[in-house]
Structure 1
Amino acid sequence: MRIAYLACGSAAHLPARADLDALAAPTATVTIHQLDARPHRKELRFLDELAHEVLPHDPTPSLDEIAQRPDVSHLGEPGPPPQSPEEELRVVVAGDDAALSAVLTRMMRGDYLWAPVGYVPTDPTSAAATNWSLPSARPGQLALALRGRPQPVPVIRNDQGVVVAGVATVTHSDGGAFEGEIIVDDTTLVQQQIRPANVRFFSQFGARLVPTIGAPGIAALRIMTPPAGSGSGSSRRGLRARLSDRVVDSIGPQQAQSFYETPALRWLVSAAEAPTGGVDPRTTTYGRALQAGGNRMLVTVDGVEAKRPVDRVTFYRHLRDLQIARPA
């Protein structure tokens, strides 16, 4: 077995060689690669070479051949890979979800998602670690990543070929109310063709999606408060602002929006910071694809914003599944 340990960024924990050798399988050969926090394509080229060394020729159907099949079995419950490499290759990523997304994107584009992946998250709030129920303690994470049994899960990507490791969002580029439509399979999740006036605390601000660990692949929710980092709140935190914060905390963002739209009551909440990133669990929608069309949409994958706004985007399940070391 070959294990490629990818330490992504200065925050990545780099275990002692003795610890790696002790936790890895007895026959495993571990190589350590120090990479950028968000590894780029050239940095990850060695992974392409490793995959080709252990599987010089892939005899299984290609992606094009799978796509041409009349059935949709590849979109059912995720399963183990059909490939049988001469030697097992395992990729262990130590970093945040953005680093994991970069590595999975490279593996997907190189078509070697058959290689098991272990994850050692450096961010305690990692959405991917939560989705996969990874241990919270570092020793348990490392042991699972190096020796844990791979479990198949769907791979969710967008139409730009970027894999979602933990979470993705579709919002308006200015952080305000969403203007457009978001559909999951045949279900409308967000629909707001005209942006409402005087929106600050509560509205339809877009959608948040996470990959599921089984079919169909995507779970999406409507975002009801401004996206995190949108800067919708007041920068002054004087007495009036603190009092407004208390009012919003007590009545909630939906009622605060009603106050904000009422001239006689606006002063009660106008100085408050708007709660951000809130979703409505009642809108949870499952499907194999999410399509969005609208005005100046901002697409964010694992905390990384797209370079420019778009007017349409699609997230969908890839034809191959990911093999992730996680608890059964």
Structure 2
Amino acid sequence: MRLIHCACGEAPAIPGAFRVDLPHHPGQKELRFLTDIAREVLPVDPTPSLEDIQSNPAVSHLGEPEFAPQHPSEPVRIVVSGDDRALGLVLTRLMRADVMWVEVAYVPVDRQSPAALVWGAGDAARAVEGAVRPIPCVRTDFGEVVAGSAELWTGNGSAPFTGEVVVDSEVLVGGSEYGARLVPTVDAPGLVAIPYISPLVPTRRFLRRQPVRRTDASRVLAGRALQSGGEEINVLIDGILRPRPVQRVTFYRHLRDIQSVRAA
């Protein structure tokens, strides 16, 4: 097995891994070496392309997550140490290069982060010796993978959401809600989302007494995709706010699954 350690910031040593020291949040150019390694061990991918999968109704690509069908000359496992954003950036690089057959393990700096909880991420020993258990890959229409969580709101989050949030065909946010939060799932259909029913930040009128960021657990929706349209939609992915608000955004399950090394 070719073991690559993407050390995003200060990180402990991973036994037997080739260490690459990277910024806390590496850019896609800084992660290009991962694509080179994948191409080296699998120069030609004989399995169906994304276009083939999408056009073939007989292919069950949105059921339970599946093991990758590729057979490289040697397995490649990437160990990401850092935060959820670092993991998401590595997954984004693999997705954009269409080398999702590469195994990915996560050693989080925060074991209570959203991605750490989804992956059941552990220590270096599990990252090296753990088994692959595929999970859905949730991405956006602007080409980013969500490793742990994403949030949507209008303005600074103190006023109700201006627009609508729909999970598959069901409306999650469309009236008095203040936004929504989603997380990937470890099995089908791919993601779950919940609405915010109170402001995300305190307002002046009820600065001391007003509860913020309350959610309604009775309204959780699971689906393959989440779509939102409206005004000044702020998008937060793995703790990082996109530079500018948007008028629409879509999160959806990618056609290939993540070959994650995680707890059962």
Residues 196-251 of structure 1, C-alpha deviations (whole Å, 9 max, x = no match): xxxxxxx5111100001000001000012222xx4x356xxxxxxxxxxxxxxxxx
- Post-superposition offset of 1:271: 4.1
- Maintained 8 Å contact 2:135/2:187: yes
Runs of 4+ in structure 1 off by over 6 angstroms are: none
- Pick the structure with greater CA Rg: 1
Corresponding residue pairs, total: 263
- Post-superposition offset of 1:154: 0.3
Relative to structure 1, the CA distance from residue 306 to residue 271 in structure 2 (aligned partners, 3 Å threshold; closer, same or farther) is closer
Relative to structure 1, the CA distance from residue 271 to residue 82 in structure 2 (aligned partners, 3 Å threshold; closer, same or farther) is closer
Residues 94-117 of structure 1, C-alpha deviations (whole Å, 9 max, x = no match): 000000011000010011110110
Task: State which of 153, 177, 189 in structure 2 corresponds to 1:171.
Answer: 153
- Maintained 8 Å contact 1:233/1:273: no
Residues in 1 aligned to 2:93 and 2:32: alpha-carbon distance in whole angstroms:
8
User: What is the one-letter code of the residue matched to 1:187?
Assistant: E
Relative to structure 1, the CA distance from residue 271 to residue 168 in structure 2 (aligned partners, 3 Å threshold; closer, same or farther) is closer
- Maintained 8 Å contact 2:150/2:183: yes
Task: State which of 118, 125, 150 in structure 2 corresponds to 1:143.
Answer: 125
- Post-superposition offset of 1:71: 3.2
* 5+ residue gaps, structure 1: 22-29, 136-140, 193-202, 235-259, 261-269
Relative to structure 1, the CA distance from residue 312 to residue 31 in structure 2 (aligned partners, 3 Å threshold; closer, same or farther) is same
Residues in 1 aligned to 2:194 and 2:59: alpha-carbon distance in whole angstroms:
25
The TM-score with structure 1 as length reference comes to: 0.77
Task: State which of 192, 195, 217 in structure 2 corresponds to 1:219.
Answer: 192
Asked whether 1:154 is paired with 2:136, we answer: yes
* 5+ residue gaps, structure 2: none
Once the two structures are superposed, the pairs formed by residues 27-66 of structure 1 within 5 Å of their partners are 30-66=17-53
| RMSD, aligned CA | 1.5
Once the two structures are superposed, the pairs formed by residues 1-328 of structure 1 within 5 Å of their partners are 1-9=1-9, 12-15=10-13, 20-21=15-16, 30-71=17-58, 73-135=60-122, 141-175=123-157, 176-192=159-175, 203-227=176-200, 230=201, 232-233=202-203, 270-272=206-208, 274-328=210-264
Residues in 1 aligned to 2:248 and 2:128: alpha-carbon distance in whole angstroms:
39
- Post-superposition offset of 1:72: 5.2
Residues in 1 aligned to 2:97 and 2:91: alpha-carbon distance in whole angstroms:
10
The TM-score with structure 2 as length reference comes to: 0.95
Give the helix-richer structure, 1 or 2. Answer: 1
